[in-house]
């Protein structure tokens, strides 16, 4: 064979192999090429278990909508590294002063019923979630938008004054009250999921039920059997960059409280969160321990007070309690290592985290705690009123944490605390009415910026629009400066100054930062490992679009 013919032969062989590989590749119903080790499409079903949500409409409740993140694509999304990535908008730009942001939607996007997804859908959604009629207690998350606070709090009833406007079908402008460098993070919130107006206006709050629900992401609701399960299937109308490998996700509902890991052991589900109550047994089991994954969670558990009335209006009482709690014991013994001690609001490795800078302000120091309580007028606990410590629900881990705190406060301060479980609706209602005397609370980050965990949670708000009654003008002023500061280093410095006031005043007693644990069947593949080595909880971001079932599945 002549040398000049050899390149042509190699090209021909390469093309032939490519055609052969293409013919051999397995495509799912969305046209996604499945990995070589994937099970066939008809076996690409993921089985989960959770409590039954009251709705899939996140404009009603930011955290109680179950699997709504599977079916609604926001303007922006967060990846597994907590970095902003395109969602329904494929790009966005800011004005020079960061007050106005323009989002350009992906052309050709469709709702699951075949209608085009437009900027008008998002404008209507944002104004809906801010409407007082929705009564969404998390609407304050969007108060940075121009006119949002006044509209949501009923001081201005004209929705057109809210700074969200569709310029045309594919261009949306969001205006902020002040420079807002983090505004694209706000658009990644689950409560910023677009709502199909025509379904909402036809069915009201029943628009997310079976047969009524219309969505715009890689899955759509196929079935909702109350008390039993939800089924989500791949949506052939989705044309974005996050097409799922899975064909179906089945979420079985728990009919009672926590069921632990038994459904997982019985091979009824493929993934399950592991609580401190089960972690020791899981770690000691030769099979389960190999299927266990843990990673830091960007969350903070803390004690909160009603600071406007005795005894918690006295800062020394609050500080005494802060110094009377052994966080190491809570984290390592009570929570079995599924927590890290906290001495401030911002979690470890979170942007702006101050490390051990605030440790001394709330460090475990019983003698100092007793001295502070005596200075507050309650020597050795004498005269301290019997106080209820509220908890949200009846979760066994929460109960153990509060019982440990109850014991520490009795041992170190000689004060009597009664743990009072409350149903979620009562707890949340009283929280925003500032009617909880003393409680275990917590917050998990929605996006990686101190504004989320400091300004949104702790900046003073009127009754009905914020969690806490604690007020400090210097703290609020520092947050307001930080929120509008464009220079990142200066922003973090300002947030640090504010957090120091929060911790030193013991507005909250910061206890622990979360650690997540999860069991996953060996056939669950595609869960990414981040740059820091963590394998994140897959429902938090877009990992559900990466997961697939391998061909070594051993289901019943």
Going from the N-terminus, what domains does the chain have, and what CATH number goes with each?
A: 73-197 (3.90.76.10), 295-514 (3.10.105.10)
Per-residue confidence (pLDDT) for residue 528, from 0 to 100: 86
When pLDDT is averaged across residues 502-520 and rounded to a whole number, the result is 96
pLDDT value of position 522: 95
* Residue 183 confidence class, pLDDT cut points 50, 70, 90: very high
Lowest mean pLDDT among 1-10, 132-141, 171-180, 473-482: 1-10
Report percent pLDDT > 70 for the chain. Answer: 93
539 band by pLDDT with thresholds 50, 70 and 90:
low
Q: How do residues 401-421 score in pLDDT, each as one tens digit? A: 999 999 999 999 999 999 999
Residue 68 is predicted with a pLDDT of 84
Which residues have a Cβ under 8 Å from the Cβ of 433 and sit 6 or more positions away? Answer: 463, 464
Q: How confident is the model at residue 422 (pLDDT cuts 50, 70, 90)?
A: very high
Of 51-60, 406-415, 495-504, the poorest mean pLDDT is in: 51-60
For the ranges 67-71, 85-89, 529-533, which has the lowest average pLDDT?
529-533
Looking at residue 538, what is its pLDDT? 55
Per-residue pLDDT at 11 exceeds 80: no
Instruction: Give the mean pLDDT of 282-292.
Output: 97
In angstroms, the CA 438 to CA 312 distance is 9
Q: Is the peptide bond before 500 cis (omega within 30 degrees of 0)?
A: no
Give the 3-state secondary structure of 214-265: CCCCCEEEEEEECCCEEEEEECCCCCCCCCCCCCEEEEEECCCCCCCCHHHH
Place of tokens 């099979």: 287
**77 pLDDT exceeds 80?**
yes
Contact 68, 193 (CB under 8 A): yes
pLDDT band at 18 (very low <50, low <70, confident <90, very high): very low
Average pLDDT over residues 495-521: 97
Whether residue 554 has pLDDT greater than 80: no
Q: At residue 61, does pLDDT exceed 70?
A: yes
The model's confidence at residue 543, banded by pLDDT at 50, 70 and 90, is: confident
pLDDT for residue 25: 84
Distance of CA 332 to the CA centre of its chain: 24
Range with the lowest mean pLDDT among 239-248, 334-343, 382-391, 528-537?
A: 528-537
Residue 4 has pLDDT above 50, yes or no: no
pLDDT at 181 over 60: yes
Residue 361 has pLDDT above 60, yes or no: yes
Statement: residue 465 has pLDDT above 80: yes
Residue 486: per-residue pLDDT: 87
Model pLDDT, residue 515? 93
pLDDT-derived band at 10, boundaries 50, 70, 90: very low
Work out the average pLDDT over 269-292: 96
Instruction: State mean pLDDT over 287-314.
Output: 95
Give 282-291's long-range contacts (Cβ < 8 A, gap of 24+).
282/517, 282/519, 288/261, 288/519, 291/519, 291/520, 291/521, 291/522
The span from the CA of 14 to the CA of 393, in Å, is 62
| pLDDT tier at 532, thresholds 50, 70, 90 | confident
Whether the predicted pLDDT of 553 surpasses 50: yes
176 by DSSP, 3-state: which?
Answer: strand
Q: How far is 13 from 17, CA to CA, in rounded Å?
A: 6
Distance (Å, whole) CA 91 – CA 75: 9
Q: Is the pLDDT reported for residue 2 higher than 60?
A: no
């Amino acid at each position: 064979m002549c040398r000049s013919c050899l390149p042509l032969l190699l090209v021909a062989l390469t093309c032939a192999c490519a055609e052969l590989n293409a013919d051999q590749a397995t495509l799912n119903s969305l046209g996604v090429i499945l990995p070589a080790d994937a099970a066939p499409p008809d076996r690409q079903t993921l089985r989960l278990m959770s409590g039954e949500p009251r709705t899939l409409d996140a404009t009603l409740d930011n955290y109680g909508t179950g699997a709504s993140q599977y079916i609604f694509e926001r303007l922006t999304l967060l990846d597994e590294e907590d970095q902003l990535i395109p969602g329904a908008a494929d790009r966005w730009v800011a004005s020079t002063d960061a007050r106005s942001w323009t989002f350009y939607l992906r052309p050709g996007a469709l709702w699951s019923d075949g209608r085009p997804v437009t900027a008008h859908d998002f404008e209507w959604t944002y104004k809906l979630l801010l409407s007082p009629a929705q009564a969404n207690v998390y609407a304050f998350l969007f108060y940075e938008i121009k006119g949002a606070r006044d509209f949501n709090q009923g001081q201005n009833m004209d929705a057109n004054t809210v700074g969200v406007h569709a310029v045309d079908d594919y261009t949306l402008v969001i205006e902020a009250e002040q420079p807002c460098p983090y505004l694209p993070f706000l658009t990644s919130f689950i409560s910023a999921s677009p709502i199909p107006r025509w379904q909402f206006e036809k069915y009201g709050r029943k628009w997310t039920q079976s047969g009524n629900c219309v969505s715009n992401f890689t899955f759509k609701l196929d079935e909702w059997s109350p008390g039993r399960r939800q089924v989500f299937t791949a949506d052939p109308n989705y044309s974005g960059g996050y097409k799922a490998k899975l064909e179906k996700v089945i979420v079985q509902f728990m009919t009672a409280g926590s069921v632990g890991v038994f459904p997982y052991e019985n091979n009824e589900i493929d993934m399950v969160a592991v609580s401190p109550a089960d972690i020791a047994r899981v770690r000691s089991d030769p099979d389960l321990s190999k299927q266990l994954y843990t990673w830091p969670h960007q969350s903070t558990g803390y004690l909160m007070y009603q600071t406007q009335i005795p005894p918690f209006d006295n800062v020394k009482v609050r500080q005494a309690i802060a110094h009377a709690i052994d966080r190491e014991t809570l984290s390592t013994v009570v929570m079995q290592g599924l927590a890290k001690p906290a001495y401030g609001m911002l979690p470890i490795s979170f942007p702006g985290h101050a490390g051990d800078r605030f440790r001394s302000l709330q460090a475990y120091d019983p003698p100092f705690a007793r001295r502070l309580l005596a200075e507050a007028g309650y020597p050795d606990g004498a005269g301290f009123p019997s106080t209820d410590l509220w908890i949200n629900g009846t979760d066994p881990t929460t109960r153990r944490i509060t019982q440990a705190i109850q014991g520490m406060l009795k041992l170190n301060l000689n004060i009597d605390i009664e743990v009072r479980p409350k149903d979620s609706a009562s707890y949340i209602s009283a929280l925003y009415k500032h009617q909880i005397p003393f409680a275990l609370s917590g917050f998990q980050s929605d996006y990686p910026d101190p504004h989320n965990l400091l300004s949104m949670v702790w900046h003073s708000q009127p009754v009905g629009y914020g969690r806490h009654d604690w007020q400090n003008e210097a703290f609020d002023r520092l947050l307001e400066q930080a929120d509008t500061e464009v220079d990142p280093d200066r922003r973090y410095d300002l947030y640090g100054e504010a957090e120091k006031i929060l911790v030193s005043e013991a507005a909250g007693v910061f206890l622990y930062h979360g650690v997540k644990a999860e069991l996953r069947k060996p056939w669950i593949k595609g869960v990414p490992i981040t740059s820091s080595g963590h394998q994140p909880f897959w429902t938090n971001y877009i990992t559900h679009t990466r997961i697939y079932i391998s061909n070594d599945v051993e289901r019943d």
